[in-house]
Amino acid sequence: MIRLNYKRPTELTNVSRTKLIIHPTCISSYNIVKTLAGRDLLGEINIIVAETPFDVVRYGVWSVPLLVVDEKPVAARSFNP
């Protein structure tokens, strides 16, 4: 089991240009986070858990996981990290 110490989007302090938007019940989101953890890359990316409609609207989430770089979506659904 992977434990995420994530913060709400308003609490982010990491200045990474890359965000990974996930949902806690999405298996694809889990698999990508697990892969990133296995490669010791979780500190390089801001992980945002989209649990509320506010999160969905703010980031324009149409599917999770969603990879965002420089505020632009670059990959969605199942993708290889």
**pLDDT tens across 21-32, in order?**
998 898 989 998
Q: How far, in Å, are 11, 22, 45, 50, 76 from residue 32 at the CA level?
A: 22, 9, 12, 15, 11
Residue-by-residue DSSP string for 15-44: --SEEEEE-TT-HHHHHHHHHHHHTT-GGG
- What is the pLDDT averaged over residues 55-78? 80
Cα angle for residues 46, 52, 18 (degrees, 5° grid): 15
The pTM of the full predicted model, rounded to 2 decimals, is: 0.69
